[in-house]
Amino acid sequence: MVRIMTDSQRVDSSSGLNLFFHGCGSGGHLSLGSAAATVEQQGTPLLLIDCGPGTLASFQQRYQCLPPALFISHAHMDHIADLEILTVRARLAGVAPIPLFVPLSIITTLHQRLATYPGTMAEGDHNFWQAFQLLPVTDGFIWQQRQWQIHATRHHAPGSSYALHLAGTLFYSGDTRPIPEVMAHCLKGGERLFHDCGLHANPSHTGLEDLAREYPETLRQQLVLYHYANEQDGEQLRQAGYQVARPGDCFALGASQA
Ligand SMILES: [Zn+2]
C-alpha cells in the first residue's frame, strides 16, 4: 500500500510545464482512449507523445490547432495510427512539415506501417513524409530549449519501445514491463513519473502486482499510472493507493508539483 501524496489536478509548477492526457487506455480496450499525452506550457502545446486512434481529435478539441511537434514511443498502431490523418491535415492546413521525433531503431517499422500506402492523398501529389520533418533520435534531442532524453524500455522486441525523459521534470514510460534499472540510474530527482500499469501483468505491460516487487515504496508513491483496460480497473489501482490518470487529466510537472 502506498499513500497518495499529491493532487493530480494541480497545474502550476516551477517548471511551468503540465502533462495533459488525451487517453489512458490499453491497446485492446479503447474506452479510455489511446494512451497519449501532451506536454504543455501555460496551456500552449509543446510536444505530443504518441498519436493513436482518437488522439488527434482530442488534441484539436483542446488546443484548436494541429500538434507543433510529436515524439513517437513505439510503432504499435494504438500509438501511431492517427499519423495517417495528421499527414493529410497538416498538408491541407499548410503547417507542414511538423517535427516528428522518432527513435532511430523504429523508423523502418514506422515507415513500413504508415508511409508505404499508395497515393496517401486522393488529391495526389503527396507522400506521407512530406507533412513531417523526420528527426531520428539516438539518445536524446533538443526541442524548445530543452534537452529531452529517451530510454529503451521492455515492450516486445528489444530496442522497439522508448520512454521519454525530461530531467527533473518528466518521466513518461511508454508501454513497458517494469524497468527498475532505468528508473534507478536515470532519474535526476523531481521528475513526475508516469508509468504503464494495468490491473494484471502480461508479457507486454506492467501489472499491479509487479509494482511492489520491482520498485521501492518511495518511488511508488510518486507514480502516476496509465495504460489500463477500463475505469473499473483504474478504480482498483486507485484503491491500492496509487495515483491513476484519467483522460482529460492535467498534471503539473517538475519539482514543486507537491
Ligand atoms: Zn505497445
- Cell numbers given for 96: 507542414
Task: Give me ligand 1 centre to Cα 72, in Å.
Answer: 11
Task: Give me ligand 1 centre to Cα 77, in Å.
Answer: 8
The pTM of this model reads 0.92
Task: Give me ligand 1 centre to Cα 205, in Å.
Answer: 8
CA-CA distance, 164 to 171, in Å (whole number)? 6
H or E element at residue 246: none
Q: What is the 3-state secondary structure (H, E, C) of 114-167?
A: HHCCCCCCCCCCCCHHHHEEEEEECCEEEECCEEEEEEECCCCCCCCEEEEEEC
Cis check: omega of the bond before 97, within 30 degrees of 0: yes
| Residue 167 CB neighbour total at 10 angstroms | 17
Task: Give me ligand 1 centre to Cα 153, in Å.
Answer: 11
Question: What integer pLDDT is reported at residue 125 of this predicted model?
Answer: 84
CA-CA distance, 67 to 58, in Å (whole number)? 11
Q: What is the DSSP letter of 96?
A: P
Task: Give me ligand 1 centre to Cα 161, in Å.
Answer: 8
Question: Partners of 136 in the beta sheet?
Answer: 102
| 251 CB burial (10 A radius; 0-12, 13-18, 19+) | buried
At the topology level, CATH places domain 7-257 in Metallo-beta-lactamase; Chain A (3.60.15)
Question: What integer pLDDT is reported at residue 13 of this predicted model?
Answer: 58
Domain boundaries along the sequence of the chain = 7-257
Task: Give me ligand 1 centre to Cα 21, in Å.
Answer: 17
Task: Give me ligand 1 centre to Cα 23, in Å.
Answer: 14
- Cell numbers given for 115: 508511409
Question: What integer pLDDT is reported at residue 6 of this predicted model?
Answer: 42
Instruction: List the chain residues with pLDDT less than 70.
Output: 1-14, 28-30, 255-258
pLDDT tens digits, one per residue of 112-165 = 999 999 888 888 888 999 999 999 999 999 999 999 999 999 999 999 999 999
Task: Give me ligand 1 centre to Cα 156, in Å.
Answer: 8
Task: Give me ligand 1 centre to Cα 12, in Å.
Answer: 31
Task: Give me ligand 1 centre to Cα 169, in Å.
Answer: 24
Task: Give me ligand 1 centre to Cα 201, in Å.
Answer: 14
Question: What integer pLDDT is reported at residue 2 of this predicted model?
Answer: 43
CA dihedral 60, 66, 71, 77 (to 10 degrees): 60
CA-CA distance, 157 to 249, in Å (whole number)? 31
